[in-house]
Structure 1
Amino acid sequence: MSDFEFSDKITITKKNSGQSIDLDQSKVHIRENQKGIMAVSYVAPIFEIMDIEDFFSDVIGSEKLSVDIGGSGEFTVAFRGLVDGKGKNFPQNIDHKIILMQVSKNLDYRQNMQVTGFSKFKLRDEISDDN
């Protein structure tokens, strides 16, 4: 058995500066569509939402971010935007933001490369002895 425990935080890190922000998983809902767009819906007190707005204020579209959900391992996404969430009637001190990110369809970077015009890389176990 491992002594490793998962965290209750989602950590988003800017690849270029190393700056990161932690989101409380109990306040997050994550949805992903078939095109790899991940929507991280965050309902929290205004002061936490202000921290999120400050964190993403200088992030440009398609900037690479690193996401770690609960200490399960980092993966890279492209930032797509921060939008106001349509909400139920939240109390005055609660707000709703949605962080849009695009996840690669396949997390193996070798399979996300453009193949047209290039010779295709094959792993050693994919090469047959017939050739």
Structure 2
Amino acid sequence: MASPEDDLIGIPFPEHSSELLSCLNEQRQLGLLCDVTIKTQGLEYRTHRAVLAASSRYFKKLFAGPGPGQEVCELDFVGPEALGALLEFAYTATLTISSANMGEVLRAAQLLEIPCVIAGLEYR
């Protein structure tokens, strides 16, 4: 007699992950369902903890730690241009930077512990 698992099939939807990121990015741009504000040097970025924690070991440790979750995070050790580029990366999987700010973005990626960005920029 066959078990119910024998009848299971997996149907991949390869575009789902990019559609999901696109919807989350749209929510971020509209300020919908955002649960944390990142502040740096007077600028504020509304965003989602889950996206940050999935993209950055720094944020994963910050948000998964004991105690109540923060609604506002001050990150004055990361410049606005670099932070903006890294947030865009987290939501689009594309890092758009100029060669002039590549070093600043690399340092920010190192501080925020974003391994794939670090590897990609160190390789250049």
**Higher share of residues assigned strand:** 1
Shorter-chain TM-score above 0.5: no
- Tell me the TM-score normalized by structure 2: 0.25
Higher-Rg structure is: 1
Higher relative contact order (CA 8 A, sep 6+): 1
